[in-house]
Structure 1
Amino acid sequence: MKSFGSIRRNFAPWKDPAAKPYIEFRNVTKIFGDFTAVDNLSLNIYEREFFALLGASGCGKSTLLRMLAGFEEPTSGAILLDGQDLRGIPPYRRPVNMMFQSYALFPHMTVEANIAFGLKQDGMPKPDIEARVKEMLKLVRLEQFAKRKPHQLSGGQRQRVALARSVAKRPKVLLLDEPLGALDKKLREATQFELMDLQQDLGLTFVVVTHDQEEAMTMADRIAIMDKGQVMQVATPAEVYEAPSSRFVADFVGNVNMLEGEVASRDENRVVITGASGAQITVEHSGDVQPGTHVAFAIRPEKIKVSSKQPVGTGANAMQGEVWDLAYLGDMTVYHIKLDDGQVVKASSLNSARIHDDPLTWSDRAWISFTPDAGVVLTR
């Protein structure tokens, strides 16, 4: 299997001021009765982008996808695809196709018949249909299963049939609603990379809806974090994880510790935050926050080092507590350290060696420490 790493690494049209968005949501609102599913939302997606809408159930992500597909119309605002306003255009006339979580395969049809169905509906000549179906079967590596019915396939194979059927009509945009939700964990992880490579092979724009953080982080070029019908942050997976824009985003994506405090001082590069217990934290990623501001310092568990001895060289960023709980997970150990001010901090440590020189267990006194660039300051 070929790698598209170099293509993805250099793909960032959102950084180009001259780049024109391929899909535009302009102040879109969708109201069902007295419930606002999407609230004055604006969002740009670029051609050939693998874009993920990530959020909890009821946040509006599926409604956004359905409006793009044409199954729902916005209450207000506009949705544009390649510069064309989609309002009033029925789903079957839109250059998009949607793949549902259930796959919705016809149980009485063979694999090849399922893939050919939409092409027949469009009146494509029979020789062209046969050539396209053959091409799709090869693309998803199911040539030997062409004559089988859906019930004779595994979950992963059914998923690939649904995908082949979705892209057979060569849509400009493929919409995927929780596409891997029906697969077991191991197969889901393998299929994520297959989808990424397939998207690059086809040169299509993919928009995927998911509540699975790992799925979005693995596959997407950019992620829109949604809550209550609004976009909280749009960024690359690395930016969302390492530089969340708010407490909500930091808490939603991955594990995080939030240390509340007040900015005591700042210079050109760093701020000093004082917590309720008087402990001080020196931080580099602080934006333009000013002294006297109440803030949260967000730090991921893997950025924190745990030791039995007071660390040397970390300055203010060292605190003492007690091992409140721990879990050995094989590849890593997770610690819950109850600090002397009562707050419990989560830290994780990779088990790179079979034997630990500094073993810690329940109720031991322990130190946590981290570097000034390990976390971020959040004001909202």
Structure 2
Amino acid sequence: MKQALGAVRRKFQPWNDPASRPFIEFRNVSKQFGSFTAVDHQTLTVFEREFHALLGPSGCGKTTLLRMLAGFEEPSEGEIWLDGKNLAGVPPHRRPVNMMFQSYALFPHMSVEKNIAFGLKQDGMPRGEIAARVDEMLKLVKLEPFAKRRPDKLSGGQRQRVALARALAKRPKVLLLDEPLGALDKKLREATQFELVGLQESLGLTFLIVTHDQEEAMTVADRISVMKEGKIAQIATPAEIYEAPSSRYVADFIGSVNVFEGTVESSSPGRLQLETDQGFTVRTATAPVLGAGTKAWFAVRPEKMRIDHDRPEGDGVNMVSGEVWDIGYLGDVTVYNVRLDSGKLVRASVMNAQRAVARPISWEERVWLSWSDDAGVILLD
């Protein structure tokens, strides 16, 4: 079994178990809108009880994948399977999925409880069962005191909870969330992300979320599919996506990163040396064996870099000097933009663990950046 990299939110990794059967399968799926290809022959598996995020910029195909699973769009090619059944030809209202939209799409003339009950009434559920289910959902999202209010009397976070309760009321096998937190302010969005995680785990449902917010995807998801131009660039856990990106695109899309182009000088198992175009040498223990002269890129996160006034001890590798170009104090972290002699800007971040620093670093000072052999990754694309 593959060993997970970095912290794991929960001990739930069916994708590493050969005996596990996928719950959702996109099998070589494509979708064209005229001459535009929104999804280009993609295969994706999601497991039961997984919280899976489709992450990428606008127009990358993530929402199209979600809409095809919901039945609002039909694939141009390929098949979509859910719980062992081919969904071809199955209309949206017959699929065991429900979708929560970014706009929430609440009925403004209905109270909270009537909004939650709407889909149940459409399905012909008996009145007593509807009332019991609505009460259950109100308790689940902690909106019991607001049952009689209309949406215009609620905050953004409360409206989001109503939409979530309505989507969950029909007890779908899969809940689809299309940018569900986009309308919330930053602090409320962060709090709601953790509420979503707790709710998903307690219900034991499969969640598939579409988002362009990498922090949101990293917070809620068991696994992330990073998308680019209709294709999935990498599928992995948040820690693996962040610490071991498969390409410069993924490295750059997830968080902040410094990337240096160079040529492999020497390579052997557990050790690679790269001569960068910036004139310094990188040595890394986390790299494939590559032939001398191979073009490659070294990616290292700002928090993996050390910044000092004095030149570090050592043999001269994994270090470079420059001038402090800009400083951003963010409270918990201070970010330094350092301009190398080549003109390239490099970012280093330092945790503010103490209120005072003996010898603070200031603008226009000459500093040294350094990092350990296992701080970054070598990329070929």
Give the TM-score band, short-chain normalised.
over 0.9
CA distance in 2, matches of 1:277, 1:239: 28
Q: Tell me which residue corresponds to 1:97.
A: 98
| Residue 116, structure 1, aligned to residue 86, structure 2 | no
Q: Tell me which residue corresponds to 2:359.
A: 358
CA distance in 2, matches of 1:171, 1:301: 42
CA distance in 2, matches of 1:259, 1:17: 37
State whether residues 140 and 160 of structure 1, in contact with CA within 8 Å, keep that contact through their aligned partners in structure 2.
yes
Tell me by how many angstroms 1:268 deviates. 2.2
What is the 5 A alignment of 1:208-287? 208-287=209-288
Task: Count how many residue pairs are aligned between Structure 1 and Structure 2.
Answer: 375
Tell me by how many angstroms 1:137 deviates. 0.6
Residue 364 of structure 2 aligns to a residue in which SS? coil
Tell me by how many angstroms 1:7 deviates. 10
Unaligned runs of 5+ in 2: 1-6
Q: Tell me which residue corresponds to 1:150.
A: 151
Q: Tell me which residue corresponds to 2:3.
A: none
Tell me by how many angstroms 1:315 deviates. 4.7
CA distance in 1, matches of 2:247, 2:134: 47
CA distance in 1, matches of 2:345, 2:187: 32
Tell me by how many angstroms 1:202 deviates. 1.1
CA distance in 1, matches of 2:136, 2:164: 13
CA distance in 1, matches of 2:201, 2:349: 35
| 1:125-163 deviation per Cα after TM superposition (whole angstroms, max 9, x unaligned) | 111111111111111111111111111111111111111
- AA in 2 matched with 1:348: S
CA distance in 1, matches of 2:316, 2:22: 46
Taking only the aligned residue pairs, the percentage that are identical comes to: 63
Q: Tell me which residue corresponds to 1:341.
A: 342
Tell me by how many angstroms 1:340 deviates. 2.4
Q: Tell me which residue corresponds to 1:40.
A: 41
CA distance in 1, matches of 2:338, 2:97: 50
What is the 5 A alignment of 1:24-103? 24-103=25-104
Q: Tell me which residue corresponds to 1:3.
A: none
State whether residues 260 and 276 of structure 2, in contact with CA within 8 Å, keep that contact through their aligned partners in structure 1.
yes
Tell me by how many angstroms 1:343 deviates. 2.0
Q: Quick check: 82-91 or 275-284, which moved more?
A: 275-284
Tell me by how many angstroms 1:277 deviates. 4.3
Q: Quick check: 211-220 or 324-333, which moved more?
A: 324-333
Tell me by how many angstroms 1:8 deviates. 4.7
- AA in 2 matched with 1:45: V
State whether residues 101 and 178 of structure 2, in contact with CA within 8 Å, keep that contact through their aligned partners in structure 1.
yes
State whether residues 323 and 361 of structure 1, in contact with CA within 8 Å, keep that contact through their aligned partners in structure 2.
yes
- AA in 2 matched with 1:292: G
| 1:289-320 deviation per Cα after TM superposition (whole angstroms, max 9, x unaligned) | 33211100000011111111011247511111
Structure 1: 4+ residue segments shifted above 3 A: none
CA distance in 2, matches of 1:169, 1:129: 10
Aligned CA RMSD, in angstroms, stands at: 1.3
* TM-score (ref. length: structure 1): 0.96
Residue 132 of structure 2 aligns to a residue in which SS? helix
Closer, same or farther in 2 for the Cα pair 1:164/1:314, shift >3 Å? farther
